[in-house]
Structure 1
Amino acid sequence: MVLKTFGWSFAVTALGLVAAFLFGGWTAFGVVAILSILEISLSFDNAVVNAGILKKMNAFWQKIFLTIGILIAVFGMRLVFPVVIVAVTAQLGPIEAVDLALSDKDKYEALVTDAHPAIAAFGGMFLLMIFLDFIFEDRDIKWLGRLERPLAKLGKIDMLSVCIALIVLLITATVIATNALQHGGTTVDKSSTVLLSGVAGLITYMVVGGLSGFFEGKLEEEEEREHEAEEEAERTGKPRSAVALAGKAAFFMFLYLEVLDASFSFDGVIGAFAITNDIVLMALGLGIGAMYVRSLTVYLVRQGTLDDYVYLEHGAHYAIGALATILLVTIRFEINEVITGLIGIVLIGWSFWSSVRRNRALAAAEGKAQGSDEKTEVSSGV
């Protein structure tokens, strides 16, 4: 199971490290290894959240997620995205941006760093909406009950998540972005840029998430009526309508996953510049990390880990909230990527341990109940 799920990740790791060694020797080998670990640690929460969405898809769309999805994740976000940032901010053509990334690495790093406020605002708002929608939803299983129960009651207020997100964006634009951190430690007013990028992130979440939710709801309605319509579908020869609907639902959930992955990758791409400004090594290291995140997502789905450890999803969403906050704060203040990764690991580790304790408590309670039943039967027999 492990080899089947992580086989491609192992292969890409070997090829990537060999390529790094051939490209720049042992130094490049070490840099790529560090970047891979950085990406995995920063994106572990991404895998948990992705698994919660991916488990709703069939095997075909899971394969799409691992093939086309990984191409988008590795080549789109880890290679093309940094170049696009430079092209837009420096008003250069794509070819000129690539040439700059390869020939003048210091200038390339400066341009990407200067674009950080816009990136952080977009990704921060997208992730913040994911977190807010999660904590305001009334769930049967609650991890931090004293916190989640009152939040679930507040969640009954329409558009509360959007209102809070807009308030956070306004505060970020008017307070934090007025002294946005730039390359070299200088500051500049980026209020309008942050405001525009944040609104774009909010709109992206609402559009993609709304479409995904709409088609997912349609799919659930169709599944509820499936047993009634099955005979009629066979008789009329029209079973394809349900398949098409499932395809639309899966497509928009896939699209949602890709945008979600893009938002998670923002901090990884920016953080990579703290280790290297070589675009080749960056693409290799982050690409290897992205492969493991993808494989880990599928592993969690196929093993049913989220069903066994019910608080993992909670921990991942709290990590998302922390990451969204960190992204917005980094518009003005520099925060070490190690701190970002540790926060996510601690929250997920805590939720995992809480899940283990819950499972043990349930098993103990079930054992006591069975023992009580056996004693009752023995007493009745006597």
Structure 2
Amino acid sequence: MKIGIVEPELAQREKLTRLVREKLGWQVLWEVSNGPAAVRRCLHQKPELILMALTLSGGEDGVTVTRNIMKDNPCAIVIITSAEHKSAGIFKALSAGALDAVEMPSDKADSIAHFLSKMKSVRTLVEDNEAGGASANKSASPIKKQTAQNADMLIAIGCSTGGPGAVALLLAELPADLPAAVVIVQHVDEEYASGMAEWLDSQIPMRTRIIQGGEKPEVGTVLLAKTNDHLVMDPTGRLGYTREPVENPYRPSVDEFFCSAGQYWRDKMMAVLLTGMGRDGGRGLLALRRLGYHTFAQNEASCAVYGMPQDAIQRGAADDIMTPQDIGQQLRDMIALPRHGGMMQGGRRL
């Protein structure tokens, strides 16, 4: 795999270069300390993956550089964080189009192992995305809808690269007293899930929290998957985690959650697939549409990465193809709510 490194400290650049070359056998195309240099290098020698620090030299941060690269010359970007720098900047970078985040490895064996495992997972996602979308005629495995105990309306959302920002735009259109539950499956490392829930809670009218496991979806609450295992719904309508199927590289998998919800959710549901790299979610979205649930996919122009929605659309899985804001407005209209959603600003609803 060919990579670029954007890191202001020489010692850290050398550490990352050494790890990916010696442990993974990857080729480092270039390494730079600042954003403008990274943007220029991408124009002339585009890598398959960029490892990027949040704090850079040269006056730009990793969020701005991520946004510029994804706009002009998109490729996979993983944000490299430090133990003392796990801030909202991470989720701003993920909203701008970064694929994931991982902590800068220390010299400890377990830290190095975690970093290498993350890199291998990222490679799988990048390669799967480059393989292209599925055939439009490819069908989902048939699933049988079964009875559950929870009768509330459910909005199921799946997303990956660029997801935090897209989700915030969508949910900003819905009120705090929404008479429905929202469950989100976002591809994000479990060490950042709690931070993402806190960040999203500050951006939208509804309250947001992570899913511990064993609870049912709650009216007026946004629930976010928190582990690297798959989020699924059980026959009682409760949410929990499972490692199976272990071979699925998307963790947590949108497909696994959508399909389990299709089996065990007995009342009204609407499902949304937003921006993301790879092909997760399309199979599950198609299964839900075949069960009669209304489905949405994000349109190409508003996506940070079009891979996941594109795959769903090619499968014929989406009833509507819209921007996140338009999806939010459509959900609100379908639930027959007045238009009084809004983004948070300074801790106050607009």
TM-score (norm 2): 0.28
More strand by share: 2
Please identify the structure whose Cα radius of gyration is greater: 1
Higher relative contact order (CA 8 A, sep 6+): 1
